[in-house]
Structure 1
Amino acid sequence: MAADFPFRDRGPRAVPLADLSAGVLDPVLRKRAGLSVALVQAWEEIVGPHVSRRSRPEKIQWPKRVRDSGRNEPATLVIACEGSAALELQHETTEIIARVNRFIGSYAIGRIKLIQKPIYRMEREKPAPLRPLSLAESKRLASTVAAVENPDLRAALERLGASVMAKRR
């Protein structure tokens, strides 16, 4: 059996750094700020790219528990934002609360508190534009995908093939 799978006993597989860091950071963030790494990572999906560029979740403030009360009071989500985004966020608080609660999976957040401060973001590098294919490469690519009947699939395969071929040289 070992001959069939030559790479089987070579040790553990590579694990993405984000998975490792989430396991380490999640307990620390929960204890210090009441946040999870998942909420911070999904912030752009929750509030949209326009708002996420100018804001970030800072912490979740849980109210003190009342012993006699049988119900839990909702928490306050503290959001750090740039001054220009504060007014926009203020108008969208009910929508943001609903989206965060949907993300968390329960009614955990009841209100939002905004803190104005600079937001530092690391911008991702834009990939270099691909080189144009030569006439011979274009013809070879077109003949390779010509047998595909579905025009949408054929166009997608052509785009994929063009990007692969453009990166090779």
Structure 2
Amino acid sequence: MKQPYTRRGVVQISEVANRLIDPVLAKRAGINTLLLGAWDEIAGEEFADCTRPEKIAWQRRASESGQDGGYLPGVLTIACEGARALFLTHAQGELIQRINGFFGFAAINQIRIVQKPVSAPPKANRKPRPLTGEPARRLDAMIGDIESEALKAALTRLGTAVMSRRKK
């Protein structure tokens, strides 16, 4: 017999995505989405816009009994743009302390800096063309009874973006 669907509460999409992405990141790069999400705070104003954590290389600790002895502090590879890498080199001691403070234990003992572009190219902020004809009349009919001008303007922008046709 099939069990009826029961709702367990609201789950944020970020939580679902993190549960899916974290194992892949941990296996391939040794990092998790929490580190990536908190990177701006960890790196500080000086380096948040020009750096990005790439991966953590963890070394296994050998135990005398032949069993797994855990991990030694790792090496964090950070991508950094251009000449800012020199400044990051001088500040890496403080950055290591911030990262270890984030993890709550001595997770990192060394930083490896790789010079490469970090920031994504700026997106063009294109506005959709105003609606005309039947789509414009339908949108006006849908939002006509709304009293708040701010809400009406926001819904008009949203409706225009949703209802406008894109060129192929």
TM range (shorter): 0.5 to 0.7
Q: Comparing both structures, which one devotes a greater share of its residues to strand?
A: 2
Once the two structures are TM-superposed, the CA of residue 14 in structure 1 deviates from its matched residue by 4.6
SS in 1 for 2:61: coil
Question: 1:49 matched to which residue of 2?
Answer: 45
Once the two structures are TM-superposed, the CA of residue 121 in structure 1 deviates from its matched residue by 3.3
| Structure 1 CA distance for aligned equivalents of residues 19 and 33 of structure 2 | 9
SS in 1 for 2:22: helix
On the 8 A contact 1:53/1:121 being kept in 2, the answer is no
| Structure 2 CA distance for aligned equivalents of residues 68 and 124 of structure 1 | 55
| Structure 1 CA distance for aligned equivalents of residues 151 and 6 of structure 2 | 30
Once the two structures are TM-superposed, the CA of residue 36 in structure 1 deviates from its matched residue by 0.8
Question: 1:121 matched to which residue of 2?
Answer: 120
Consecutive unaligned residues of structure 1, counting only runs of 5 or more, are: 1-8, 127-164
| Structure 2 CA distance for aligned equivalents of residues 30 and 118 of structure 1 | 23
| Structure 1 CA distance for aligned equivalents of residues 6 and 116 of structure 2 | 49
Q: Letter of the aligned partner of 1:66 in structure 2?
A: A
SS in 2 for 1:22: helix
SS in 2 for 1:46: helix
Q: Letter of the aligned partner of 2:89 in structure 1?
A: Q
| Structure 2 CA distance for aligned equivalents of residues 71 and 25 of structure 1 | 23
Consecutive unaligned residues of structure 2, counting only runs of 5 or more, are: 126-147, 153-168
Q: Equivalences for 1:52-67 in 2 at 5 Å?
A: 52-67=48-63
> For residues 15-72 of structure 1, what are the alpha-carbon distances to aligned partners after superposition, in whole Å with 9 as ceiling and x for unaligned?
3322211110001100110001100000001111331110100000112433339685
- Aligned-pair identity (%): 38
Question: 2:150 matched to which residue of 1?
Answer: 167
- Between 64-73 and 44-53, the greater mean CA deviation after superposition: 64-73
> For residues 86-133 of structure 1, what are the alpha-carbon distances to aligned partners after superposition, in whole Å with 9 as ceiling and x for unaligned?
01110110000000000001011001000111113376999xxxxxxx
| Structure 1 CA distance for aligned equivalents of residues 18 and 55 of structure 2 | 16
Once the two structures are TM-superposed, the CA of residue 167 in structure 1 deviates from its matched residue by 3.2
SS in 1 for 2:117: coil
Question: 1:160 matched to which residue of 2?
Answer: none
| Count of residues paired in the alignment | 123
RMSD: 3.0
| Structure 2 CA distance for aligned equivalents of residues 11 and 29 of structure 1 | 29
Q: Letter of the aligned partner of 1:30 in structure 2?
A: A
> For residues 109-166 of structure 1, what are the alpha-carbon distances to aligned partners after superposition, in whole Å with 9 as ceiling and x for unaligned?
001000111113376999xxxxxxxxxxxxxxxxxxxxxxxxxxxxxxxxxxxxxx88
| Structure 2 CA distance for aligned equivalents of residues 48 and 65 of structure 1 | 32
| Structure 2 CA distance for aligned equivalents of residues 122 and 17 of structure 1 | 26
| Structure 1 CA distance for aligned equivalents of residues 6 and 27 of structure 2 | 37
